[in-house]
Amino acid sequence: MQKLETLNGFDKRQSVEVKVGKVGIGGANPVRVQSMTNTDTADVEGTVQQVKELYDAGSELVRFTVEKDAMAMAVPKIKQRLMEDGYDDVALIGDFHYNGHLLLEKFPEMAMALDKYRINPGNVGFGEKHDANFDTFVQFAVKYNKPVRIGVNGGSLDQGLLKKMIDDDMKLPENEQHGANRVFLDAMIASAIRSTNRALELGMRKDQIIISTKMSGVQEMVYCYSTLAKLTDQPLHLGLTEAGMGDKGIIASTSALSLLLNQGIGDTIRVSLTPEPGAPRSREVRISQQVLQSLGLRFFLPQVTACPGCGRTTSVTFQELAQETTEYLAKQMPQWKAQGYEGVESMHVAVMGCIVNGPGEAKDANIGISLPGSGENPAAPVFEDGKLVKTLQGPTMKQDFQKMVQAYVEKRYGQNKILATAK
């Protein structure tokens, strides 16, 4: 059904462009990164600070909960504060459940301040109230000319629709029945498509609708989005919901997102990672960016290639340099960006630990160093664009390499320097 366009070697599914504030989603736009606050939205100061943190980390869209009057009244204040502080590029999304239609009617300033509304078709009421509440919600989106994400969720699927589809499946001959799990997934898809069609009937434009079908199972998520991609050209928001904490959450989210993005499916993503106590919320943003960068879809920060180490390496030395170089690049990137060093975000740096693969990997990088392994000559050749330029040795080797990285950036990317736009 869909025409395909090539992007970095991937066949990218073609979709309608939807503008969310100043951020374009779908169409020819890159895959966008978004996140969600976990503050009480009624806490204006706390929410503003977290939105800034997420935006500074690279989240182009930030969603927050709107479920109470106090939260709705806080939204225009949050928007105003962000604009006053120069954060007018971040797209703000209101996350509504159960009473969104009522809040949009009661608080028009909130409705106008938001850049997008998120509605879950499974949480707008039951029976006749479901249809009426959904229609009211969409009519406000039409009134205020706002885009909407129709976000179906596995944990809150429309039970009336699911029951009907299960009953229909049970009426089929036994050898033609799909079974409960397949019907559940098909009900997710059906809810998204039916809700989209209803929104269009009520006057929404195609360039106002984004779709998602989020759940906690990797294979189930891949099935739903792969099927959706064939049924609609609306932009798709990808995310594994309730992914969990730590390694489990990161690995599960990365697996699901990569399988779909590798097929060219997905216009905006979120890693829904449960933060460890005290951990910054922005970690999920950096993981989203790393997924996109690892796939070659977008570039955010220079990357360091480093070997895992073995009995040949002087482990502590190359481990420390790899870590310090990674931290140095992250620290310098805002400054390089402000200085207009266009393209530096795709720079490749290698820090290798011995002679086996060290020189080869260092030559392949923009700039790379091959440290001496156990028993090797205590000298470290440095390569720039495949050519040996210097050999470092002695106690200042780490500092000397950082200076060489800075000099390389100025030489290589300074020629691409563009006028920095003041924030």
Q: Which of 49, 180, 199 lies closest to 124 in space, CA to CA?
A: 199
The greatest distance separating any two alpha carbons of the chain, rounded to the nearest whole angstrom, comes to 79
CB 94 within 8 A of CB 66: yes
**Residue 238 belongs to what H/E stretch?**
strand 237-238
Q: Is the Cβ–Cβ distance between 17 and 26 less than 8 Å?
A: yes
pLDDT tens by residue, the chain, 423 residues: 333 344 455 678 999 999 999 999 999 999 999 999 999 999 999 999 999 999 999 999 999 999 999 999 999 999 999 999 999 999 999 999 989 999 999 999 999 999 999 999 988 877 778 889 999 999 999 999 999 999 998 878 888 888 888 898 889 998 888 888 899 999 999 999 999 999 999 999 999 999 999 988 999 999 999 999 999 999 999 999 877 788 898 999 999 999 999 999 999 999 998 888 888 889 999 999 999 999 999 999 999 999 898 888 877 888 999 999 999 999 999 999 989 999 999 999 999 998 898 999 999 999 999 999 888 888 999 999 999 999 999 889 999 999 999 999 999 998 776 544 444
Give the span between the Cα atoms of 55 and 107, in whole angstroms.
26
pLDDT at 417: 67
pLDDT at residue 421 in the model: 42
**Ordered structural domains, the chain, with CATH:** 4-294 (3.20.20.20), 303-416 (3.30.413.10)
Cα–Cα distance measured from residue 12 to residue 5, given in angstroms and rounded to the nearest whole number: 5
